[in-house]
Structure 1
Amino acid sequence: MIIPNIKNSDSTNFFLLAGPCAIEGEEIALRIAERIVKITDKLNIPYVFKGSYRKANRSRLDSFTGIGDEKALKILAKVGKEFGIPTVTDIHESHEAAIAAEYVDVLQIPAFLCRQTELLVAAAKTGKVVNIKKGQFLSGASMKHAVGKVQDAGNPNIILTDRGNSFGYQDLIVDYRNLVEMKQFNVPVVMDCTHSLQQPNQESGVTGGKPELIETIAKAAIAVGADGLFIETHPDPKNAKSDGANMLQLDLLEGLLEKLIRVRQAVI
């Protein structure tokens, strides 16, 4: 496993990147992390806590973007220290890479920005693991260029994550060939099981989603060989400040992971 300090790193299970869409506050971040740590420790699943310190890609100007960069980053650092787990957050501009790298273990490149050379190089130069989300407009095979940019900048620690492909103007579809194609680059490949169920560009300016299909997406990803899963989860998705429409109810996570372990055991 290329992620430092990851628990259960000798596990044959898939690994998990999970947490709320955005850091909403310290208490809820710690509560979500504590619950997931208990579940993943019990199931021997390597775990990375996920939380965006700032949401830059919003449909409307009045959408929630964060509680303040430094405040949110310090919460991510506290989560990592308190539970002894690695953390991941996304960055949107080159200057953010060095700042976020002081607080987290993995820097995530949003799908819309996976072709941004300066952003990829800045993330690479921090020495942190770089999780690149595949653009909704790209094939898995075409991600070789994003991988090459990070490698050529001197960083071999790369993860690739699929989050679906644009299907018309307001929907996404998952093509599982992308996971297979991205595995040829000899980096861990992850399926984003929640963002791939978004229904973007709604008239209201609030992204919709189909969380009832999270299990379907996750099972299929494990069956075709995904190394890891990305799942945004919240104890009360309807009242989450960001992306509540496609997040998994936290109470459902353990049961889902138990099913996925059985799928994993059947295919390895």
Structure 2
Amino acid sequence: MTRQIKIGDIVFGGGRCPLIIAGPCVLESEDVVFHTAGQLKEICGQAGLPLVFKSSFDKANRSSIGSYRGPGIDKGLRILSDARNKFAIPVISDVHSVDEVRLASEVLDALQIPAFLCRQTDLILAASKTGKPVNVKKGQFLAPWDVKNIAEKFTTTGNFNLFITERGSSFGYNNLVVDFRALPIMSSFGFPVIFDVTHSVQLPGGLGDRSSGQREFAEPLARAATAVGVDGLFMEVHPDPEKALCDGPNMIRLHDVRKLLTTVKALYEIVKPGLDQ
């Protein structure tokens, strides 16, 4: 069984109710952020699932130089702080450098290291030294047992508030596939494991200058991961994905989240007795 971790007032891991990490891929307008955060809080509350709101102040690994990256760290952290205060929900966002870690840790409840940076030792150590909970997204180029090396780096500072997110593995060109054996393998190292519902259905670079995706498979993969017994689900959500400025093809429509999370909670109640053993 994985250890329990606290983000804000939320405790997850160790067989507890799945944590939901959700929000738009990248910070757009304050209207989109606040509308999405408010709706997600209501939906998660009704489903009985804890929520951490996520959105990136900078998407540093976009396919094209012309792609929208976000408002930047100063404005982005202000928007995230406002969302947390307005809706009383913890917030998390990506960090890409040691300098960003320092600034972001003063505002965010948890930090996130993107998949492409999951082996960057200095970044991992800087994030760990904050003492904050840190989500490291497993690179799509790593085997699940490679996560042990990430955990060993992270915990050398004495911080054990680590959780790992599975987001699929590269499968040929412009494609990802999910090996559900990876979830219990990574859980065996003792840290909570989150399943990234929407990046797992991404088709990286599938549209040439940007990624494509297969949104229609997000819900079945979320159901499968819940049945396996993950500690949480990560999902990018937008009121109108077709108009989103990043990752639209794989983001879940806000309108569809209620049904998905109702199903997730029902599945968790079915598999919970097995998780307690």
Identity %: 43
CA separation in 1, counterparts of 2:169 and 2:105? Answer: 29
Q: Aligned AA for 1:134?
A: K
Give unpaired runs (5+ residues) of structure 2.
273-277
| Greater length-normalized contact order (CA 8 Å, ≥ 6 residues apart) | 2
From 242, 246, 249, the equivalent of 2:250 is: 246
Asked if the contact 1:6–1:46 (Cα under 8 Å) also holds between the matched residues in 2, the reply is no
Partner of residue 26, structure 1? 30
Q: Does 1:14 align with 2:11?
A: no
CA distance in 1, matches of 2:124, 2:270: 36
Correspondence for 1:228 among 224, 229, 232? 232
CA separation in 2, counterparts of 1:201 and 1:184?
32
Q: How does 1:143-158 map to 2 (within 5 A)?
A: 143-158=147-162
- Residues 229-238 or 84-93, more deviating: 84-93
- Give matches, 1:79-158, under 5 Å: 79-158=83-162
Contact 2:48/2:265 (<8 A) preserved: no
Q: Matched residue of 2:6: which SS?
A: coil
In 1, the alpha carbon distance for the partners of 2:119 and 2:55 equals 22
- Counterparts of 1:9 and 1:79, CA distance in 2: 21
Query: 1:237: which partner in 2?
Result: 241
Calculate the TM-score normalised by the size of structure 1.
0.96
Alpha-carbon distance in 2 for matches of 1:46, 1:88:
14
**Letter of the aligned partner of 2:7 in structure 1?**
P
Distance 2:231 2:267 in 1: 13
Q: Tell me, yes or no, if the aligned pair for 1:6 and 1:48 is still in contact at 8 Å.
A: no
| Structure 2: distance between partners of 1:140 and 1:216 | 21
Counterpart among 55, 65, 69 of residue 65 in structure 1: 69
- Decide whether aligned partners of structure 1 residues 149 and 39 sit closer, same or farther in structure 2, where only a CA change above 3 A counts: same
Kept after mapping to 2: 8 A contact 1:47/1:86: yes
- The runs of 4+ residues in structure 1 deviating greater than 3 Å are 6-12
Residue 54 (str. 1) matches residue 58 (str. 2): yes
What amino acid is the match of 2:86?
E
State the partner residue of 2:195: 191
C-alpha distance in 2, partners of 1:140/1:6?
A: 30
Structure 1: state its 5+ residue gaps: none
Take 2:208 and 2:143, find their aligned partners in 1: how far apart are those partners?
29
Deviation of 1:266 after TM superposition, in Å, equals 1.4
What SS does the aligned partner of 2:17 have? coil
Aligned residues: 268
- C-alpha displacement of 1:12: 4.1
Task: Check 1:205–1:107 CA distance in 2 against 1; reply closer, same or farther (3 A cut).
Answer: same
CA RMSD of aligned residues (A): 1.5
Match of 1:209 in 2: 213
Q: What is the one-letter code of the residue matched to 1:5?
A: G
Equivalent-residue separation in structure 2 for 1:6 and 1:217 (angstroms): 28
Name the counterpart of 1:75.
79
Q: Which moved more, 1:2-11 or 1:155-164?
A: 2-11
8 Å contact 1:6–1:47 — kept in the other structure? no
Q: Using the alignment, how far apart are the partners of 1:69 and 1:186 within structure 2?
A: 32
Deviation string 1:75-126 (CA, Å, 9 cap, x unpaired) is: 1111111211111101111211011111111110111111100000011111
In structure 2, how many angstroms separate the alpha carbons of the residues matched to 1:8 and 1:82? 21
Q: TM-score, length-normalised on structure 2?
A: 0.93
